[in-house]
Structure 1
Amino acid sequence: MKKIFVYSLFIGLTVFVFSCDKGLEDLNKNKVNPTAVDPVFLLNNAVINSSYPVKALVFDMGIVQQMISPNGGVLAGANFNQDSRDVTTAPMWAVYYQNVIKYNYDVIVNTKNVPARSNLYNMARIFQAFSFMVLTDEYGDIPYTDAGTGYSNQLFLPKYDAQQSIYPKIIQELTDATAALNAGGTIESSDVLYSGDIAKWKKFGYSLLLRAGMRLSKADAAKAQTTVAAAFAGGVILTNADNAYIRHDANYNQPIGGTLNGSEAANFYLAKPFVDQLKNTNDPRLSAIAIRYVGATSGNGQTVGAGTTNAAQQIGMPMGKDNGTIVAQATADGLASFYDYSQADRRRIVKTTSPVFLVSAAQTNLLLAEARFRGWIAAGTAAQYFSDGIKAHMDQMATYDVNSAVAAGARDTYVAANPLGVGTELNQINTQYWIASFLNGPEAFANFRRSGFPLLTPNPYGQPNNPDVPNGTFIRRLTYPTSELSVNTTNVNAAIASQGPDKLSTKVWWDK
């Protein structure tokens, strides 16, 4: 009887244990943890991470003499003709390769053989081409073929491709991917750039193709012409309703706006060449962009009450002054201190929620003005594209803030007073492109090198004995980050051997 009881107890406990185990199996399943991510959200991550980092402020915008800082340390860069790769050049490289390129690549891999996601596949190809164009324009030879394959192919030390071989591939990708977009296919409405609007994505793709073609105007004029003609025939961005730009909010701050509303609020100023260009032509955009805190002797003095947006009172900071020499310069300019120079208004145009424009109607119309002047397209007139580009940028200013809007009357008065002249076409067109690309540092830097306009005086700082930037010249590219030199040594050294010294003065392939 005792044995029967023991056996019965054993059987009961066994059944109980197995029953508990079965229940625990269900309990151990995390029903809210995703095992897969819709690739459209990966594309969104690529888009929002492409907002230009502070590096664009320290280098690109300083090189083209739009905004500078007289302070050194982590802010040293273009204003000192100084190579500061550890703290300024690495972020663009790291952010784009570790986020933008990687996410785009994952979308491409995961949608390539999924017909229902064909539009998403081609959208990612277009955005990947844009991303590579930014990187190769900044650095020259870069990882292209092997880029983004760390996870899929376990390739952690990518080889570098020559820029001369990268550009034809970018052009082909933009051509094929844009043509393949299909309004009858799946509409990726969760896309943060255009909400899946295929017509707008096509215009974005062809506008990038136009940009890529124009980039080759001196390196390969024949290829440039055929590429530009194909882009124009496809249909490009001509109105602000189709602009490609990144929206920011309280949760996702604009990188440059975050910097200029934080620790560096009192450290960056509008450069004298930029202010003078706008001021001397009575350009209403100066009041839309600038603020000067009259009489400020410190950052604390830059208060709303001291601020003026009156164009007549704006004074740009001269190039090549450090925090020692700028003191005497400010006195000579009749200012209380260097804190009294004009700034980009951080309460309007460079808020933490300000948009970042990637491709705009203003830029595209101005490129078409040059293309028409060169005879590369037959429709329209260079003069009309020129005036349309100026108008588009002035109208675009309202997107930053209602208080940065340019009145239609002021816009039309300026356009009428500044028509496209004879014999100065390329200078005028590309000077307006420089203005229209304000806050888009990489594009302003690239087009300045390509076109040679506006006619800026080289930054005098550190010359004539500067080993990085020879006397009377400009910075022509950014140097590779230290991480590449120390980790991917063999491949980066091969690129340097092919392209030229890893210096700020070495030109990229298309910069003739």
Structure 2
Amino acid sequence: MKIIYKITGVVLMLGLFVTSCTKDFTKINTNPNASPEALPAQLLRPALVKTLTVNMLRNRNFNNELMQVTVDASDAEGKVFRYDYRASWSDYLYNGWYLQLTNFKEIYKIASDSGLNYNRSYSGISLVCQAWIYSMLTDTYGDVPFSESNRAKEDSITEPKFDAQKDIYLGLFKMLDTANTLLTTGTAIDGSADPVYNGNISLWRRFCNSLQLRLLMRVSGKAEVAPMAIAKIKEIVDTRASTYPIMTDSSHSAILRWTGAGLLVSPYVGGVREQDFRTPGLASFFIDNLVAWSDPRISIPLPWGNGTFNRWGISPASGAYLGIPSGYAPGENPPKKAYFLSNTSAVSMQTEPLAGQIMNTSEVKFILAEAALKKWINGSAGTFYNAGARESIKMWLPNWNLDIQTFLAAADIEWEEGLTDDAKMERIHLQKYYALFLADLQQWFEYRRTGHPVLPKGAGLRNNGVMPARMTYPVLIQSTNPTNYKLAVTAQGPDQIYTQVWWQKP
């Protein structure tokens, strides 16, 4: 009996011991300082990198071909430089951008909830990035899902409606105003999680308001919103400038710098083979202007003894920079004369740290030049023009020290008050074209808005020789969201590359 009692006692003690060990097991073994979900600091860097990857790859083989930076010479069908591209081109941007919107929205959700992860700066950065991506989506396709997009998980919306582009833009302006307010607090974030500004919240705020200037200018030609857009531009630049700080020098530019370490390996290295990177030749329009100006960003001995540069890693042919006429007719087969060097070269755009362009200060200066030309803001259009040209070169060559007016006069592209407004617009947008080099599809968007700079037209162009106005919707959308797809096409026009988006229409 004693043995039985002893055994029973041991069992009871073990039971109590096991109970005490397992009681509140989950609570005890959960780190109170850790989050069971991804944190904003963990999501921000990969979301930015993946968005820039999508942008850069389509900048290289779509924007650059349309906008006569490069020519992927061939007589095959579906060559973008001839305004001819297949519907399958649409999928990559559409899917890539909406995928990253999910991540940026998650950052906003986590950072906006009260608790340990509450952080107004992450919330503001998220809204800036969402506005940036949505603007690229709507400028590429026209009407797209906006108010109901990326809500399948929380709201079970698997077939989101397509919002009208006008409504999207009005929503973006509200989004950016909210972001500016959130970023005013300057709440600290993890600098190592931010490959654009290294955690400098004041610079994110400058990008936020500069992005709003870009988008306001884009819709300023639409009569129904022009008064609002012009008034807001003046508010940001003149009447409430302290409330809306913008980019003013090159250190403010939004650029994801490719260091080559960890995630920060340029997609031109990981996504493009060396031989493929060298394949497209430079277009005549792009290179001929640089040669005519003795531009320091290419390797030309400069007459004022400031050295020889090749900042853009361009290979000449037999010492000469000659390009391929874009849009040439099939059968002409012009030879390739110059091209961007691959990473086998010491200086190469394939490994260039500054290739991750989001928005730079030079673009902002040219926005201000156009606004001043149209008398919307105070200041001289010529002064802003000179500043934009200077920043465009200094971003790539910080030690370049020639007076910008001397350079522009020698290149015969100085500001002249006696020119017509259209000629002044051409001068502004020709320089802006080079400022937008590598910035996703911005050259294409601005050409569609203004018709500048004037591009030569080859005999082989399709689409009646008219610059395509949009990408078509991905084919998959027609089967996965058929009702809203049909409504969008009815409202906007045929799902074709010639159908203008809202801000393009007269």
What TM-score does the superposition give when structure 2 sets the normalisation length? Answer: 0.83
1:495 to 476, 488, 496: 488
What is the rounded CA distance, in whole Å, between the counterparts of 1:162 and 1:459 in structure 2? 34
- Is 1:225 matched up with 2:230? yes
Q: Report the equivalent of 1:419.
A: 414
Letter of the aligned partner of 1:274 in structure 2? F
Q: Aligned-pair distance for 1:321? A: 5.0
Identity of aligned residues (%): 22
2:322 to 296, 299, 315: 315
| Alpha-carbon displacement from aligned partner over 1:377-404 (angstroms, at most 9, x marks no partner) | 01x2111110111110101114xxxxxx
Q: Report the equivalent of 1:274.
A: 286
Letter of the aligned partner of 2:60 in structure 1? L
What is the rounded CA distance, in whole Å, between the counterparts of 1:279 and 1:410 in structure 2? 19
Letter of the aligned partner of 2:322 in structure 1? I
Conserved 8 A contact 1:320-1:461: yes
| Alpha-carbon displacement from aligned partner over 1:312-349 (angstroms, at most 9, x marks no partner) | x1111222359x746x422xxxxxxx3x4333665435
Cα RMSD after superposing both structures = 3.0
What is the rounded CA distance, in whole Å, between the counterparts of 1:349 and 1:229 in structure 2? 40
49-58 vs 423-432, greater mean Cα deviation: 49-58
What is the rounded CA distance, in whole Å, between the counterparts of 2:388 and 2:4 in structure 1? 93
Q: Report the equivalent of 2:307.
A: none
Q: Report the equivalent of 1:175.
A: 177
After superposition, residues 65-144 of structure 1 pair within 5 angstroms as 65-71=68-74, 76-86=78-88, 88-99=89-100, 101-114=101-114, 117-144=119-146
After superposition, residues 200-239 of structure 1 pair within 5 angstroms as 200-220=203-223, 221-232=226-237, 233=241, 234-239=244-249
Q: Aligned-pair distance for 1:8? A: 5.2
Q: Report the equivalent of 1:329.
A: 334
1:240 to 250, 253, 263: 250
Conserved 8 A contact 1:60-1:442: yes
Q: Aligned-pair distance for 1:226? A: 1.3
Q: Aligned-pair distance for 1:247? A: 2.0
What is the rounded CA distance, in whole Å, between the counterparts of 2:362 and 2:232 in structure 1? 20
Conserved 8 A contact 1:142-1:161: yes
DSSP-derived class of the 1:265 partner: helix
After superposition, residues 409-488 of structure 1 pair within 5 angstroms as 409=402, 413-417=406-410, 418-421=413-416, 422-423=419-420, 424-461=423-460, 463=462, 469=463, 471-488=464-481
Letter of the aligned partner of 2:364 in structure 1? T
103-112 vs 418-427, greater mean Cα deviation: 103-112
Conserved 8 A contact 2:166-2:502: yes
DSSP-derived class of the 1:497 partner: helix
Letter of the aligned partner of 1:367 in structure 2? I
What is the rounded CA distance, in whole Å, between the counterparts of 1:198 and 1:431 in structure 2? 32
1:506 to 494, 499, 504: 499
Letter of the aligned partner of 1:202 in structure 2? R
| Alpha-carbon displacement from aligned partner over 1:91-140 (angstroms, at most 9, x marks no partner) | 211111112x1122112223335495223222211221111111111111
Q: Aligned-pair distance for 1:9? A: 4.9
- Is 1:43 matched up with 2:44? yes
Q: Aligned-pair distance for 1:152? A: 2.0
Conserved 8 A contact 1:55-1:89: no
Structure 1 unaligned blocks of 5 or more: 296-309, 331-337, 399-404, 464-468
CA 1:294 to 1:360, structure 2 compared with 1: closer, same or farther past 3 Å? same
239-248 vs 170-179, greater mean Cα deviation: 170-179
Letter of the aligned partner of 2:250 in structure 1? N
Number of aligned pairs? 467
Q: Aligned-pair distance for 1:292? A: 2.3
What is the rounded CA distance, in whole Å, between the counterparts of 1:219 and 1:229 in structure 2? 17
CA 1:219 to 1:165, structure 2 compared with 1: closer, same or farther past 3 Å? same
2:156 to 154, 157, 160: 154
Letter of the aligned partner of 2:314 in structure 1? I
- Is 1:63 matched up with 2:62? no
Q: Aligned-pair distance for 1:410? A: 8.2
DSSP-derived class of the 2:48 partner: helix
CA 1:502 to 1:14, structure 2 compared with 1: closer, same or farther past 3 Å? farther
CA 1:114 to 1:33, structure 2 compared with 1: closer, same or farther past 3 Å? closer
What TM-score does the superposition give when structure 1 sets the normalisation length? Answer: 0.82
Q: Report the equivalent of 1:333.
A: none
112-121 vs 279-288, greater mean Cα deviation: 112-121
DSSP-derived class of the 1:358 partner: strand
Q: Report the equivalent of 1:358.
A: 358
What is the rounded CA distance, in whole Å, between the counterparts of 1:285 and 1:48 in structure 2? 26
| Alpha-carbon displacement from aligned partner over 1:228-255 (angstroms, at most 9, x marks no partner) | 1122132311200111111223333222
Q: Aligned-pair distance for 1:293? A: 5.8
CA 1:496 to 1:53, structure 2 compared with 1: closer, same or farther past 3 Å? farther
Letter of the aligned partner of 2:485 in structure 1? V
Q: Report the equivalent of 2:312.
A: 289
CA 1:351 to 1:57, structure 2 compared with 1: closer, same or farther past 3 Å? closer
DSSP-derived class of the 2:167 partner: helix
DSSP-derived class of the 2:449 partner: helix
What is the rounded CA distance, in whole Å, between the counterparts of 2:87 and 2:374 in structure 1? 38
Conserved 8 A contact 1:83-1:504: no
Structure 2 unaligned blocks of 5 or more: 300-310
Letter of the aligned partner of 1:391 in structure 2? R
DSSP-derived class of the 2:255 partner: strand
CA 1:256 to 1:506, structure 2 compared with 1: closer, same or farther past 3 Å? farther
Letter of the aligned partner of 2:131 in structure 1? A
